Each structure stands twice: as structure tokens, then as C-alpha cells.
Structure 1
Amino acid sequence: MPEVRRLALLLCLSLAGCGSADPATTWVESSGSPSPGAVTATSAAASPSPSKPVAAFSAGNPKGTAKVPAEAKAVDTGKPDRVIGNGTAASCTSEAVVAAVAKGGVITFSCGSAPLTITMKSTARVRNTSAKVVLDGGGLVTLSGGGKRRILYMNTCDKSLVWTTSHCNDQASPQLTVQNLTFADGNSTGDATEGGGGGAMFVRGGRVKVVSSRFLRNRCDTTGPDLGGAALRVLDQYQDKPVYIVSSTFGGASGQGGVCSNGGALSSIGVSWVVLNSLLTHNRAIGKGANPARPGTPGGGSGGAIYTDGDRFTVTIAGSIVQDNRAAEGGGAVFFVSNDRTGTMTIENSTLRRNKSDGFETYPGIFFLGAKPPTIIGPKPAR
């Protein structure tokens, strides 16, 4: 990527409301018959009730009106393959989560009627032999990294998780969905796997989507020119299909946002994103020196909320609120660099405001290098 330079193009003030998704239908079909559980994860037959969101759980931008395509909606968990817990909080353990994720399929929780935080003793790892993994917290469950570890990991090119194809960087499965779930205090600092990043979740290959979920206080390395994604880092998606982020919250209040060298919420290389009816606030990119790193600096500091790099990819933000994020270098809200200038960005009926770029930007809160100026429908980004 060429050395980024300060540009100043101020756009008009004007703000809009945003949206909420209908998490009703499936992304992929439900898989097969129930499989036996492991550790404290019980089989679906023993506890057939799916997790159901509760009124107290709120994620995303409820005023958003962006249309959610069928493949981006929540997966039907009415017939889970696996249920974590037997109805009590004590039965919902880190070990049960790790075992269930390793086995795959549609996974729900039965931990009682009160909200519950499960502090992970180890990272849950998706095995590449799973066609599909759906993790549905029912609006009650928080998975916490305890400030010590990443919470969820999927990598089709990681041989320890079984290398299932000769083209691991472009394969259809696993297809990972997280929904009605909170990820808190994940931390991948010091983990250099695939270049690092992904404080709460790291994904390479297959497909991933996030629906009606929250990401709070997650962290990854504080320096580095290209790593990022305090909440979610993604490398490679099947046939370059987009990552969907639907009706989800990243931060949401002061002190609740993610912090990383780049991409305080989301980060990727060569991956497309569709962010619908979501809320991204109070996230920070705190690295110093940009990318490539200036002499004498460790690099980083771009994309307060979203950091994207690569060649041909797209970013769509619709019905969403992106505000009060900050970058020590470029793009307080969004950093978008298409190296070969083929990438495009669309912002539709969204509020982007008060996103501080301490170094450089091409639009208020945005640093953009792509095929053409971003397509903006509705209110313009504002300072």
C-alpha cells in the first residue's frame, strides 16, 4: 500500500436514523439429526427448546431500515444439534462451550432464565470438518475472554483443525454464525497467528456472519501496521462473498468499545463487508505510524471502527450509526485502501459523525482510496 497522505475534503452536515433486522430465517439449512454432546453439553434430544432472545437484550440500531437479505438473517435454531447446559448456570461452562463448538452444528444454551457470563478458560476452536457452526446465546449469554484470551477461532488453513481441501483459502465451509450473543473482554494480544488481531473472534476461510450480537471491551495488539479487529478479524471468504454484520453493537457506550492497533471493531485484508442496522461507537485504533509504518514507528493507528485493506473488495454500511470512534492516524470511522484501486464503498441512510482522525482523512472520519469516491445515499458523514 502506498504511503498515505493527509487530504482534506469536507462534506455537508446532516444526519439520519438507522435500523433493525428481522432475525427470522436461515442462512444455511439446519444440519442433520442431533449428535451426542460432550463434557457438560447435552444432546438436543435431552433439551429441545431453542434459545430465545429476551426483552432486556438489545443490539444494533433499532431505528435502521436497511433491508436484510435472506442469507444475512439469523439461523433457525428450533432444532439444535447441541444444547450447552441442563437448565442451570453451573452447567454452562467454558469446557462445555469448547466441546460443543468443536463438534459443530446448531448450538444453543440452557443456563437458566437469568443473564449469564461464561468466562472462557481456553479459546473455542471451530474444526474444519464442520459444515456449519451456529452459536446462539438466546440474548442471555455472554462469552468472556476475561481480558486474557481470544474467545472464538476459525481457520480453514490451520492444519491442527484438519485441513479439508487443497484450497484452504477459498472453501465453502465451515459456515459460522454467531447470534443473540455477547462477546466481552476478548484479548488476542501477543498472538501472532496469521499476523495477529481478532481480539474476540478470528476467522479465515469459509463464511462468517454476525447477527443481533454485542462486542464489548475487546482488545488486540496495540501496535503493528496491518493487524487489527479488536472484535473481529477476517481473512479470506469463500468466493469473495461478504461478511454480514446485522443488527449488532460494537462498543455502544463510553468505555465499552474495542481497542487495537487498527480497526477498533472490524478488520480485514481483501474481504468485503456488509454492515446493516448496526451500532459502532467508542472504538479506537491506537497504533502509531500508519501503513507502511513511518521510519522509527511500529505502524498502525488507522480505522477507529473499521479497517480494510487489499485489492478488490467492497464495504457497504446501511442503516447504521458509526460515531465517536477515533484513530490515532487515518480514518476515525473507516479506513479503506484498495491497493489496485478497484474497491468500492457505499454508505446508505447511515449516521457517521464525531469520528476523530488524528492524522489524515479524505472525508469526515473516513480515509478512502478506491475505484471512485464512495457512493453516499442520504446524509453525508459529519464532523
Structure 2
Amino acid sequence: MRNSGLAAFLAVVLTVATAGCGTDAAPAAPQAGWVEAGASTAPSVAPSVSPSARPAAAAFATGNPKGKAAVPAEARAVNTAKPTRVIGDGTPASCTSKAVVAAVAAGGVITFDCGPDPLTITMQATAKIKNANGPRIVLDGGGKITLSGGGKRRILYMNTCDKAQGWTTSHCQDQDHPQLTVQNLTFADGNSTGETAEGGGGGAIFVRGGRLKVVNSRFIRNRCDTTGPDVGGAAIRVLSQSKGLPVYVVNSTFGGGPGLGGRCSNGGALSSIGVSWVVLNSLLTHNSAIGRGANPARAGQPGGGSGGAIYTDGNLFTVRVAGTIIQDNHAEEGGGAIFFVSNDRTGTMRIEGSTLRRNPSDGFETSGFPGIFFLGARNPTVTSSTLRR
């Protein structure tokens, strides 16, 4: 973006009322599946398995239970009743970081069998998707599994342009595979600080290319670099999706309470460049954009601080937020809730049946849209929603 756009605000008078949209309920968790012969059951590695920590100890609940946005078929949870492979043999000790890394690299539909109780698996290495081992990759925690970065590393990585993960087409930046779905999982304490490849970011999940879908999942206490004009996504960073199709985020939670939110230079929850998003029936709270100096960085400052919950930049892309609560997020610079800059002014944003409140922007925001900084084709379209300080 360019700071010259700050003078381009249009003052608007916005009268909105809280109401739902659509009638579809949130997708139900898939049924338990069977174990295929030869499923990964790597031996125990004591440091990678821990008793249930805070995120797994409470009853598993995600998203905005009052959200009424209709969820299209392509955005719903994948049926994992017949998984390709299962992590674990029914015991907590069998569910290790090594087993997760191996299963993700092998691809397919992946579930967990780690016993009856919630379990946190602390990753000793980032799980990386091999681009040829798809086209569909599903990681389903059944509402019991937390994957933790231990505050030291990114948890999950997919990049169709990373030669180390294999090139499968001649146009890596725009291909329809792998198609990654994460569902019924908690991602905790991921940290991509210092990861410089592709511009960094993505404390829990980094994706470039293919497709990404997130359903019924939680993201807590994730981190990425604290300064930088464009680095972002304490929870998720996405660069390019096939044919410009959107990332779906459905019935998911980012933060959820004091001390649980993500923190990054930009985009305390979500961040992208040139990527469209559809966020449905979700909850984004207590996330922070902690950089300073904006983008481009002001003289003498490192840059960043925009998009307390969501940071989006690029040219032609769209953001749709429906049935969602975004509150108690904070930006040191612009967009305490959402930062949206379409550099060529072709991008658009819609907010439907949602509530945005208490999302302070310490530097700047668009007049009439509390918590939002927006530069695009026209002012955001807001229907049946509440926007307030």
C-alpha cells in the first residue's frame, strides 16, 4: 500500500443492526473412522507428547455459535470416516511429532487415534506437505488434538513453489493442488519468528499455492515477527490460491480470550497478499498487530502494525466476513479489526450479519468504519451488522 491513500477516505454514515444471515448450522464433526493397515504408528518420543494443556483441557468449542451465515458445500468439513492413514494406535504415547510429520508428508486423509482424552502434541519439527502427495490432504483432530509449536517453530507448511517440496506443474503460483483442509484441530504456540522464506509470517500455518480450507479449528498464542512492513499472520499466512479462489475459514476461533490471541507485526490472526478470504461464523478476538511504522515504513521505523485481526494487501482480491464476531483486537497503526488495501483499487469487501467492536486502531482507520482501514473499489458493503468502537 501507499500512505498517500490515507487522504482518500470517504466519510460515510453507517446505520446497521445486528442480525443473522442464512440458515445453515455449523458443520458437524466427522464420524470416527477405521485404521488402514500400515498406518503410521511411530514409536514414542517423550518430549513431543504432553498431557492436555490449556487449549485441550476445556470442552472443544469453536467459532461463533450464533453465526447464521450459510456455509456452501465446498466450505464444509470433509468426511473422514475412511481415512487414508491414522496417527496413533490408540495410546497417547503413539501420537508423536515424528508421526505427524510423516503422515503430513505422505498426504491423504489423516485422522488421529490417541486415546479417549484430549492430547497436546508438541512438534519437534514443522510438518511439511509434499506437493506430489495429494491432491487432497485433510488433517482432522477430532476435536481432541492440539498441535503445538512449543513457542519455537511453525507447525504446518505448504508451498507449491518450494522446490524442496517438489514442483508438480510449470506454473507453481497457480495450481489446483494440493488442496489442504485442517479441521477439528487446535494450533497453539506456533512461532515463525526469523523465518524469511517467502517473506515470513504464518506462525501456525504458512501456505502458498493450491487451496486452503479451515473448519472447526482453534488458533491460540501463535506468533510471527514483531516488525516489518508486510510480514504477517500470527496464525495463518497465505500467498496465492488457485485461480484466485478464496480461502474458507468456517466456524473457527482465533484467540478467544485474554492472553490467547496471536501477535505479529501485521495480521494478528490472518494475513495474505493477493488472496481472497471468506470467513464464516467465526470468532476473532484478542489478536494484535504490534509492528510500528506502517507500510511503507515511515522514516526511522521498521514498519508494520496494521490489521489487528486480519491483514490483506495486493491488487484484485475480495474479503467476505459473515456471521462472525471480531472484537477486542488491536493495531498499533491501522485497522484494529481489518486492514484491506487493494493497490490498484479493484478489491472489494463485504461484512454480513457480523459484529465488529472494541478494535482500536492507534494510527488510522477509514471514517465511518470503526476498526477498519480500507482502500478498494468502493467502500465496504455492510449489511445486518454492528460496527462500533
TM-score by length of 2: 0.90
- Which of residues 369, 372, 384 in structure 2 aligns to 1:366? 372
Alpha-carbon RMSD? 2.1
The alignment of Structure 1 onto Structure 2 pairs a total of residues equal to 366
- Which of residues 255, 268, 276 in structure 1 aligns to 2:259? 255
Structure-2 separation of matches of 1:9 and 1:382: 14
Matched AA of 2:92: A
For the pair 1:304 / 2:305, whether they are aligned, the reply is: no
Matched AA of 1:255: G
- Which of residues 224, 227, 230 in structure 2 aligns to 1:223? 227
- Aligned residue in 2 for 1:90: 93
CA shift in 2, pair 1:226/1:367, >3 Å? same
For the pair 1:56 / 2:64, whether they are aligned, the reply is: no
CA contact (8 A) 1:142 1:182 kept: yes
Structure-2 separation of matches of 1:280 and 1:253: 9
For the pair 1:73 / 2:79, whether they are aligned, the reply is: no
TM-score by length of 1: 0.92
- Which of residues 26, 42, 53 in structure 2 aligns to 1:40? 42
CA contact (8 A) 1:10 1:364 kept: no
Structure-2 separation of matches of 1:68 and 1:138: 20
- Aligned residue in 1 for 2:47: none
Alignment of 1:161-200 (within 5 A): 161-200=165-204
Structure-2 separation of matches of 1:10 and 1:289: 29
- Aligned residue in 2 for 1:212: 216
CA contact (8 A) 2:318 2:347 kept: yes
Structure-2 separation of matches of 1:198 and 1:54: 25
Aligned residue for 1:5, secondary structure, equals helix
- Aligned residue in 2 for 1:116: 119
CA contact (8 A) 2:306 2:333 kept: yes
Structure-2 separation of matches of 1:186 and 1:164: 28
Structure-2 separation of matches of 1:54 and 1:361: 38
- Aligned residue in 1 for 2:106: 103
- Which of residues 311, 314, 317 in structure 2 aligns to 1:313? 317
- Aligned residue in 2 for 1:30: none
- Deviation string for 1:36-65 (max 9, x for gaps)? 444529xxxxxxxxxxx9992100001110
For the pair 1:289 / 2:290, whether they are aligned, the reply is: no
CA contact (8 A) 2:40 2:88 kept: no
Structure-2 separation of matches of 1:331 and 1:81: 42
Matched AA of 1:2: R
- Aligned residue in 2 for 1:377: 383
CA contact (8 A) 2:230 2:295 kept: yes
CA shift in 2, pair 1:221/1:54, >3 Å? closer
- Deviation string for 1:118-160 (max 9, x for gaps)? 0000000000002111000000000000000000000000000
CA shift in 2, pair 1:352/1:38, >3 Å? same
CA shift in 2, pair 1:24/1:58, >3 Å? closer
Shift in Å, 1:2:
1.7
Matched AA of 2:224: C
Shift in Å, 1:11:
3.8
- Deviation string for 1:276-323 (max 9, x for gaps)? 000000000000010111111100000000000000000000000000
Aligned residue for 1:100, secondary structure, equals helix
Matched AA of 1:22: P
Q: What is the percentage of aligned positions where both structures have the same residue?
A: 71
- Aligned residue in 1 for 2:51: none
CA contact (8 A) 2:20 2:353 kept: yes
Shift in Å, 1:9:
5.4
CA shift in 2, pair 1:350/1:146, >3 Å? same
Matched AA of 1:126: I
Aligned residue for 1:337, secondary structure, equals strand
Structure 1 residue runs without a partner (length 5+): 26-32, 42-52
Structure 1 residue ranges (4+ consecutive) displaced by more than 6 angstroms after TM superposition: none
Structure-1 separation of matches of 2:131 and 2:374: 35
Structure 2 residue runs without a partner (length 5+): 44-55
Shift in Å, 1:381:
1.2
